[in-house]
Structure 1
Amino acid sequence: MVNAKQPELVTNKNHKQHSNVLLILGSGIAALLLGIVLALSTGAADIPLATVGQALVSYDPNSTPHQIIHDLRMPRIAAGALVGAAFAVAGAIMQGMTRNPLADPGLLGINAGASFALALCFAFFPALPFDLLILYSFAGAAASAALVYGIGSLAKGGLNPLRLTLAGTAVASLFIALSGGIAIYYRVDQDLAFWYAGGIAGIKWLQVKMIFPWILAGLIGSLILSRFITLLSLGEEVATGLGLQVGVVKFCGILLVLILAGASVSTAGSIGFVGLVIPHIARYLVGADYRWIIPCSAVLGSLLLVLADIGARLINPPNEAPIGAIITLLGAPFFLYLARRQRSEI
């Protein structure tokens, strides 16, 4: 009799878990939509919500508030939502593949590599179009990832989470120093200041259209790969025993991280800690299954960037604070907490 009830109990438990996950995702999407509405009405020029609704339903090109909403605020909000989702999902993939709770594109040097490539472009190819900037950003991210994994693997005993983090920190410091030297020597520091600080002010629809297919492809690929990342997060030996082709999954995962991080850095600069903090929150809310962690991370990452953008406008109006600085203030204490907890577990 007990055995007969076990499948029913498992089914009920899974159904309840799926219901909770859908509730969390629905709440996150609702909060994101509310944040988008607030972002459309908040800024140096406060615009009533009624005017926001009119601009969305019946756009009047002769109306200044409508122009502000359509040409200035909507593209930056769209970019913020895309970049937030991309950074968060990239961090979730890296944490799942490496089994390293401190992994994210910023801490492992990928963001710094992409920024270094942009510094080279500004110094030597100042008239380069935005679509080529994205490709160079991908190349910089790939070079950084190769260095991190190469240096981490050279140590005796092979690659482990601690060595990966140390190698990432070293490579990130190297690329940041090189980028700074290029900026000073070639006098492009003003052009690079936006990417150093991180932000989405001044984003135009052209840039959103450029990064949208890249980030969308990266997010869809991440959802497809999510089941295999769950298996890989159990450990390479366990995943191999279950028939997983670990090398193929790692290659696809790294490729997705490069696409997501490269496109994001080329648009919004090096915004750290999104890929570190959000996956942990998602894992706490929905459990250890990456089929749920990845979509939840995407929604929460978008929400964080949209809310941070609102905060950037309100801290010192009419001037704006860098979004990267705001998120760092939130993410740095969380990083210290994770580092201390991991140290206590070693």
Structure 2
Amino acid sequence: MKNNTIIFRSKFLPISFRIHRHVPYVLLLIIIITLITFIINTSVGEYPTPPFIVVQTLLGIEPINPDYNFVINILRLPRTLTACLVGIALAISGAIMQGLTKNPLADPGIIGINAGASLAAVSLIILLPNLPVVILPISAFMGALIASLLIYIFAWDRGTHPVRLILIGVGISAVAGACNSFMITFGQIYEVNQALVWLAGSVYGRTWEQLSAFLPWLIIFVPLALLKASELNTLNLGDEIAQGLGSRIEWQRGLLLAISAALSGAAVATAGNIGFVGLIAPHIARQLVGGNYQGLIPVAGILGAMMVAIADLLGRIIFAPIEIPCGIVTAVIGAPYFLYLLVQTRRK
């Protein structure tokens, strides 16, 4: 501890960052809120389940009523886990994108990366509905990667400017949205309904099969993001300093771009368009641990899990028994926050 701060270091991952003394208590509170939301989310529904039964089931204790076991393990637990893991992926992807572009307004949903992933996934749902579910994240990753490359190329003019990145991203997103509408127009009714629900951003009806298709992407790319956090810090010092420190700038940018596209693409393929998580979570994390990405990335991931879990819970209980997709809830909260950040950036 020094100057009213705490230096945190991990023995298992290359994470080291300085935080204010009160921050560990705030992070503990966030984790507790996430766990409580997780339990409540798994409890509520058409067949209410007592929270203590949920906790017992999660601890491996078999409930007396076998119906509880089916409702929790088969119907609700995959959905709640998917919500938390999608939040982690979107938040980390947004943190990387903000650091990579040096743009506080960057977010995979706002600048068009998620739109590219959506177009690829919708095309697959409409044209090839019988393909295995594990193919969908691969397709979405390719769409996200192509969209991110197009945005970076079109926005480059002896560097990238925040406003130019936003405008190019909005253009890419509009083109991808128009292509999505075209695909839906000519699709069969069942595939169209599936695509429309998916485009709204929802974890409704998610199964263990879909979750198992999503998990490998997290297992591979979240540790990669943590390992490359120090490189992201180096790139933010400027190209000349980064080169002087021995960083292979273009290689590192390309790798970080691929990591961000993989996480956002896999999240979009699993839960559809859940916007603004990648914008808000890194901003809150930056207020807690500062701009060091070795601390910002994992903290943003925790916040992202909490945000999507709460959004899914609110969508289920506000107008129950009608469910609102969690993507709509995050949009209602995130859009005003984005406008606020836009005004603040303009003033600066």
TM-score in terms of structure 2 length: 0.90
Alignment of 1:15-26 (within 5 A): 17=19, 20-26=22-28
- Give the Å deviation of 1:316: 1.4
Name stretches of at least 5 consecutive residues in structure 2 with no aligned partner: 9-17
How far off is 1:44 after superposition? 2.7
SS at match of 2:252: helix
**1:183 to partner: Cα distance:** 0.3
SS of 1:108's equivalent? coil
> CA deviation digits over 1:185-222, x for unaligned, max 9?
22442121122100101000111111111112211111
Change (3 A) 1:230 1:22: farther
Residue 204 of structure 1 aligns to which amino acid in structure 2? T
Match status 1:281 vs 2:267: no
In structure 2, how many angstroms separate the alpha carbons of the residues matched to 1:174 and 1:129?
27
Q: Percent identity?
A: 35
Gap change, CA 1:149 and 1:14, over 3 Å in 2: same
SS in 1 for 2:134: helix
Structure-to-structure mapping, 1:44-63, within 5 angstroms: 44-56=46-58, 57-59=60-62, 63=66
Q: Could you tell me whether the CA contact under 8 Å between 2:34 and 2:306 is conserved in 1?
A: yes
After superposition, the C-alpha distances for 1:216-248 in whole angstroms (9 at most, x for unaligned) are 221111110111112222333333333322212
Larger Rg: 1
Deviates more, 1:233-242 or 1:247-256: 233-242
Distance 1:71 1:150, change over 3 A: same
Report the residue type matching 1:33 in the other structure. L
Q: Give, in angstroms, the shift of residue 123 of structure 1.
A: 2.5
Match of 1:173 in 2: 174
Quote the Cα distance in structure 1 between the aligned partners of 2:65 and 2:6.
Answer: 56
Q: Which amino acid aligns with 2:137?
A: I
The 10-residue stretch of structure 1 (283-292 or 234-243) with the greater mean CA deviation from structure 2: 234-243
Q: Which amino acid aligns with 1:183?
A: I
Helix, strand or coil: the match of 2:285? Answer: helix
Aligned equivalents of 2:210, 2:283: Cα separation in 1: 30
CA deviation digits over 1:76-113, x for unaligned, max 9? 11111110000000000010111101101111211111
Map 1:117-196 → 2, pairs under 5 A:
117-153=120-156, 156-187=157-188, 188-196=191-199
- Write 1 or 2 for the structure with the bigger share of helix: 1
Which residue is 1:86 aligned to?
Answer: 89
Q: 2:337 aligns with which of 322, 334, 345?
A: 334
* 1:232-311 aligned within 5 A: 232-311=235-314
Residue matched to 1:43: 45
3-state DSSP class of the match of 1:118? helix
Residue 4 of structure 1 corresponds to: none
User: 1:232-286 CA distances to partner (integer Å, 9 max, x unpaired)?
Assistant: 2233333333332221221111111111011101110011100001100000011
Q: Which range moves more in the overlay, 200-209 or 243-252?
A: 243-252
Question: 1:157 Cα deviation (Å)?
Answer: 4.3
Pick closer, same or farther for the CA change 1:81–1:13 going to 2, 3 Å. closer
**Does 2:48 align with 1:67?**
no
Tell me the alpha carbon deviations over residues 280-331 of structure 1, each in whole angstroms, 9 at most, x when there is no partner. 0000011111111001001010011111111111011122101111001110
Per the alignment, in what secondary structure is the counterpart of residue 146 of structure 1? Answer: helix
Structure-2 change in CA distance of 1:62 and 1:9 (3 Å): closer
Number of residue equivalences? 336
Distance in 1 (CA, whole Å) between partners of 2:223 and 2:205 is 27
Q: Is the 8 A contact 2:116 2:146 kept in 1?
A: yes
Amino acid across the alignment from 1:165 = I
Q: 1:280 to 1:26 in 2, by over 3 A?
A: same
TM-score of the two chains, using structure 1 as the length reference: 0.91
Contact 1:115 1:195 in 2 (8 A): no
